[in-house]
């Protein structure tokens, strides 16, 4: 082995060692948050479905809930008997992308409680009792791209405002 090969090999070994150290210290990109377990238990008690980040398979029973190290990506509470105040349990899920509240008793009071969902892309509010006043505030979710409002009293002007303020989000009504 000549000098340039030894130098290259030495740099390669050091680079790999450094990269491995970074992976061990920071983890391998596994997304988790401290609220996911409690939120999942709550959703399952209401008969809903939860899909974690890094999976397409739903968590269907309490026994399937990981002890830790996971984050919720999708929640489906279609026709669930939930109260507005219950939505506080879903208000701090930083990896949540899809929230389905179709046919629930949701009103503006509940919609206000959904706050810290920075990755929310799809929100299903069809056949709920939300109003223009709160729906117009959905612009607080900058990544929101799909909003379902079938069977609501939302006015066309509110829908137009949402579309323009959310960068061309699709609103289904």
Residues 131 and 100 in one domain: yes
Residues 68 and 98 in one domain: yes
As a whole number, mean pLDDT of residues 113-134 equals 94
Residues 6 and 58 in one domain: no
pTM: 0.82
Phi-psi group of 168: left, alpha or beta (phi > 0 → left; psi -120 to 50 → alpha; rest → beta): left
Residues contacting 103, CB < 8 A, separation 6+ = 78, 79, 126, 127, 128
As a whole number, mean pLDDT of residues 148-162 equals 97
Residues 157 and 72 in one domain: yes
Q: Identify the band that residue 23 occupies on the pLDDT scale cut at 50, 70 and 90.
A: very low
What is the strand order of the sheet 49-52 is part of?
49-52, 72-76, 98-100, 122-124, 146-148, 170-172
Residues 4 and 44 in one domain: no
| CATH number, domain containing residue 128 | 3.80.10.10
In this prediction, residue 116 carries a pLDDT of 73
Residues forming a β-bridge with 76: 49, 100
Percent of the chain predicted with pLDDT > 70: 83
b/e sequence 12-41, b meaning 16+ C-beta within 10 Å: eeeeeeeeeeeeeeeeeeebbbebbbebbe
Residues 86 and 97 in one domain: yes
Please state, as a whole number, how many other Cβ atoms lie within 10 Å of the Cβ of residue 149.
Answer: 21
* Residues 125 and 151: beta-carbon distance below 8 Å: no
pLDDT of 37 strictly over 80: yes
In this prediction, residue 101 carries a pLDDT of 98
Domain span at 20: 1-30
Q: In whole numbers, what is the pLDDT of the chain averaged over residues?
A: 87
- For residue 6, the Cα-to-chain-centroid distance in whole angstroms is 49
Residues 96 and 123 in one domain: yes
Residues contacting 73, CB < 8 A, separation 6+ = 51, 52, 53, 55, 95, 96, 97, 98
Residues 125 and 154 in one domain: yes
* Virtual torsion, Cα 162, 86, 119, 25, nearest 10 deg: 170
The number of domains in the chain is: 2
Residues 61 and 20 in one domain: no
pLDDT of 86 strictly over 90: yes
Residues 9 and 85 in one domain: no
Please state, as a whole number, how many other Cβ atoms lie within 10 Å of the Cβ of residue 75.
Answer: 22
In this prediction, residue 9 carries a pLDDT of 61
Residues 16 and 62 in one domain: no
Higher pLDDT, 53 or 116: 53
Residues forming a β-bridge with 92: 116
Residues 96 and 167 in one domain: yes
């Amino acid at each position: 082995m000549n000098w340039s090969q030894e130098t290259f090999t030495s740099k390669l070994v050091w680079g790999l060692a450094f990269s491995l150290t970074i992976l061990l210290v920071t983890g391998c990109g596994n997304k988790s948050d401290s609220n996911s377990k409690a939120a999942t238990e709550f959703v399952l008690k209401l008969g809903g479905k939860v899909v974690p980040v890094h999976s397409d398979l739903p968590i269907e029973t309490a026994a399937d809930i990981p002890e830790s190290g996971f984050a919720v990506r999708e929640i489906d509470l279609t026709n669930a008997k939930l109260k507005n105040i219950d939505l506080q349990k879903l208000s701090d899920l930083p990896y949540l992308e899809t929230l389905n509240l179709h046919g629930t008793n949701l009103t503006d009071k509940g919609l206000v409680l959904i706050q810290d969902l920075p990755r929310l892309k799809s929100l299903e509010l069809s056949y709920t009792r939300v109003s223009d006043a709160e729906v117009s505030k959905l612009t607080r979710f900058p990544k929101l791209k799909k909003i379902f409002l079938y069977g609501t009293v939302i006015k066309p002007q509110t829908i137009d405002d949402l579309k323009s303020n959310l960068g061309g989000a699709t609103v289904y009504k």
